Structure 1
Amino acid sequence: MNYILISPYYPKNFQNFAHRLKDAGVYVFGIGEEPYEQLGSTLQTSLSEYYRVKSLENLDEVKRAVAFLFYKHGPIDRIESHNEYWLELDAQLREQFHVYGNKPADLKKVKLKSEMKKLFRKAGVPVVEGSVVENEQELTEAVAQLGLPVIAKPDNGVGSAATFKLSSEEDVRQFEAEWAEKTAYFLEPYIEGGKLCTFDGLTDQEGNIVFQTSFTYNVPTLELVQGQLDLFYVIQKEIEPKLEAYGKAIVKTFGMKERFFHIEFFQLETGDYVALEYNNRLAGGYTIDMYNYAYSTDLFAQYATLVTGGKFQEPKVPNQFCIGVTQRDAYQYQNDTKAIRDRFGDKVKFAERMPEAFAHLQGNQFYAINAETEEEVNQITRFVHERKK
C-alpha cells in the first residue's frame, strides 16, 4: 500500500501516523514545506520518500509532487493530512488522482455550517436555528429575527476562528465594519449556560464506529479566547446515553468512512443537547494523545490497522479520565511542572509546550493527567490553575 501524508512534520504529535503506518507495512511518502534535514532521523526513517514543495498552498506544485510519486512508486492508495486546514487540498488531490476517500463534492456537508444543520435535523438531533448572511441587509434581517445576543461565524470556517458574539447594536455595527461582506457568515442565537462537549471517534471502511469517546470543556471556546481564561477539558470515562444516541445518529447520517470525527454539542441546562458542528477529522492539539492515555490504546496504530484492512482491537483495561489542562505565560501560577509532577506522579502523562497555532486558544503550557474519579479531576485542575497571590 502506498500512502501520501500531507505535511508529515506538523503538528509534531501527528508524526506518529507515519511511524505506525510504516510499522503496518505501508509505504509512506511525505509532501511538505520543511527541509528534509528538519524532519529528524525518526521521521526520515518512517518515510519511504519525502518531496519538498515551496508551498502547500500552491495546488499545482503539490499535484506535481503527487504525480512524481505516482510515476515513481505506482498507484497511490491514500492521501491524507488529518489536519482541518488541508482537508480541501486532500480532497482535490484524491479527485485528481482517483484515490479512495472524500472528494471536493463530499466536503460541502462538513465544511458549511448551514449544510451541517440540515443533516443534524435529518438525523433527528436538535439544533439551534440560524441564518446565512452575505450582505448588510441580510445581517439586519437575521438579527431582527433571531434577537441579540447571537454568535456570528464563517459559514465555511475552522473552529472558533473569526467568530464573534454580538450582544448589542454597537457590536453589530463593529462586526459589520470588520466583516465588510467578504465572506458568508452563519448567525445563530447565543446559548446561555450551555456546557460544551463532544462525541468523537473513528469509523472503519464500512462506516461503522469502532472507537468512540467524549470530552467536556470547562468553558466554551469563544469565551475562552476572548477572556484568555484558564482551560481544562476532560476525556470522560462514560458517554451520557442521550449524547451517544445523538452522536451515532449523526455519524450514520453523514456517512463518512475510514475517518476520525469530532462532533461538538452544547448540553443545555435542561439536560438535552443541541448539535453545533461536525468536524471530519481529529480534535486538535494533543487530544489524540489524551485518548490514548485515557483508553490505554494507540489510535495511531489502530488507524493504520484499519487502513490496511485489519480489525480495531478493543483495549483490555478499564478507561480513565484524562485531563488536558493548561497554563498561560501571561499569568503567574503557584505550581510549576516540577510541583505538578511531584504532586501527581505517574498520573502526569506528559508536559509539553503548545504549538503557537493553538496557544492563543488553549494556553502555552499543556499537561495531560489521568484521574480515577471526578473528585480527583477537580483536585488536579485546581492545583494546576492556582495562581500566585
Structure 2
Amino acid sequence: MNYILISPYYPANFQPFAHRLKEAGVNVLGIGEEPYNQLGSELQNSLTEYYRVNNLEDVDEVKRAVAFLFYKHGPIDRIESNNEHWLELDAQLREQFNVYGNKSDDLKKVKYKSEMKKLFKKAGVPVVEGRVVKTKEELSKAIDELGLPVIAKPDNGVGSAATFKLDSEEAVHLFEEEWGEAQVYFLEPFVEGGVLCTFDGLVDQKGNIVFQTSFTYNVPTLELVNGQLDMAYVIQKEIDPKLETYGKAIVKAFGMKERFFHIEFFQLENGDYVALEYNNRLAGGYTVDMYNFAYSIDLFEQYASLVAGEEFKESDAENKFCVGVTQRDAYEYKHDTDAIYERFGDCVKFAQRIPEAFAKLQGNQFYAIVADSQEEVDDIIRFVHERKH
C-alpha cells in the first residue's frame, strides 16, 4: 500500500502518523516544503521517499510531485495530511490521481457553514438559525430578522479566523468597512451563556465510529482571542448521552469514512445542545496527544491499523480527564513550569511551547495534565492560571 503524507514534518506532533503507518506495513511517501536534512533521522527512516516542493500552496508543483511518486512506486492508495489547512489540496490530488477518499465535491458539506446546517437539521440535531450574506443589503436584512448580537463568520472559513461579534450599530458599521463584501459571510444569533464543547472521534472504512471522545472549553474561542484570555480545555472521562446521540446522528448524516472528525457544539443553560460546526479532521494543536493521555491509547497506531485493514483495538485502562491549560508570555504567573511539575508530579504529561502561528489564539506555554476528578481538574486550572498581581 502506497500512502502519501502531505506535510509529514509539520506540525511536529503529527509526525507519529508516518512512524505508525510504516510499522503497520504501509509504504509511506512524503511531500513537504522542509529540506530533507531538517526532517530528522526518525522521520527520514519512516519515509520510503520524500519529495521536497518549494510551496505546498502551488497545486501544480504538488501534482508533479505525486506524479513522480506514482511513476516510481506504482498506484497511490491514500493521500492525506489530517490537517485543516491542506484538506482542499488533499481532495484535489485524490481527484487527479483517482485515490480513495474525499474529492473536491465531497468537501462542500464540510467547508460551508450554511451546508453544515442543512445536514445538522437532517440529522435531527438542534441548530441556531443562520443567514448567508453576500452584500450589505443582505447583511442589514439578516440583522433585522435575527436581531443583535450576532456572530459573523466566513461561510467558508477555518476556526475563529475573520469572525466578528456584532453587538451594536457601531460594530456593524466597523464590520461593513472591514468586510467590503469581499467574501460570503454567515450570520447566526450569539448564544448567551453557552459552553463550547465537542464530539470528536474516528470512523473506520465502513463509516462506523470506532473511537469517540469529548472536550469542553473554559471560554469560547472568539472571546479567548479578543480578550487574550487564559485557555483551558478538558478531555472528558465520559460523554453526556445526549451529546453522544447528537454526535452519532451527525456523523451518520455526513457519511465520512476512514477519517477523524471534530464536531463543535454549544451546551445551553437548559442542558440541551446546538450544533455549530463539523470539521473533517482531528482537533488541532496537542489535542490528539491529550486523547492518548486521557484514554491510555495510541490513536496514531489505531489509525494506521484501520488504513491497513486491521481492527481498532480499545484500551483496557480506565479513562481519565486530561486538561490542556496554557499561559501567555504577556502575563506574570505565580507558578512556573518547575512549580507545576512539583505540584502535580507524574500527572503532568508534557509541557511544550506553542508554535507562534497559534500563540495568539491559545497562549505561549502549554501543559497537558491528567486528573481523576472534576475537583482535580478545577485545581489544575486554578493553579496554572493564578497570576502574581
Question: Which residue in 1 is equivalent to 2:4?
Answer: 4
- Distance between the aligned counterparts of 1:41 and 1:357, measured in 2? 25
Question: Which residue in 2 is equivalent to 1:278?
Answer: 278
- Distance between the aligned counterparts of 1:22 and 1:356, measured in 2? 30
Question: Which residue in 2 is equivalent to 1:198?
Answer: 198
Q: Deviations over 1:195-249 (max 9, x none)?
A: 0000000000000000000000000000000000001000000100100000000
Q: CA deviation at 1:356?
A: 1.4
Secondary structure of the 1:291 match is: helix
Q: Which AA in structure 2 matches 1:167?
A: D
Question: Which residue in 1 is equivalent to 2:73?
Answer: 73
Question: Which residue in 2 is equivalent to 1:134?
Answer: 134
Q: How does 1:230-379 map to 2 (within 5 A)?
A: 230-379=230-379
Q: CA deviation at 1:357?
A: 1.8
Range that drifts further, 33-42 or 344-353:
33-42
Q: Which AA in structure 1 matches 2:358?
A: F
| TM-score, with structure 1 as normaliser | 1.00
Q: Which AA in structure 2 matches 1:21?
A: L
How many residues matched? 389
Q: CA deviation at 1:346?
A: 0.4
Q: Deviations over 1:82-115 (max 9, x none)?
A: 0001000000000000000000000000000000
Question: Which residue in 1 is equivalent to 2:189?
Answer: 189
Aligned-residue CA RMSD in angstroms?
Answer: 0.5
| TM-score, with structure 2 as normaliser | 1.00
Question: Which residue in 2 is equivalent to 1:387?
Answer: 387
Secondary structure of the 1:312 match is: coil
Q: Deviations over 1:18-76 (max 9, x none)?
A: 01001111111110111111111111111110001110111100000000000000000
- Distance between the aligned counterparts of 2:28 and 2:333, measured in 1? 43
Secondary structure of the 1:237 match is: coil
- Distance between the aligned counterparts of 1:180 and 1:51, measured in 2? 40
Secondary structure of the 1:171 match is: helix
Q: Which AA in structure 1 matches 2:146?
A: L
- Distance between the aligned counterparts of 1:388 and 1:364, measured in 2? 18
Question: Which residue in 2 is equivalent to 1:119?
Answer: 119
Stretches of 4+ moved more than 6 A in 1? none
Q: Which AA in structure 2 matches 1:230?
A: D
Q: CA deviation at 1:355?
A: 1.1
Question: Which residue in 2 is equivalent to 1:110?
Answer: 110
- Distance between the aligned counterparts of 1:276 and 1:357, measured in 2? 24
Question: Which residue in 2 is equivalent to 1:155?
Answer: 155
- Distance between the aligned counterparts of 1:244 and 1:357, measured in 2? 32
Secondary structure of the 1:260 match is: strand
Secondary structure of the 1:366 match is: strand
Q: Deviations over 1:278-333 (max 9, x none)?
A: 00000000000000000000000000000000010010111100000000000000
- Distance between the aligned counterparts of 1:86 and 1:150, measured in 2? 30
Question: Which residue in 2 is equivalent to 1:17?
Answer: 17
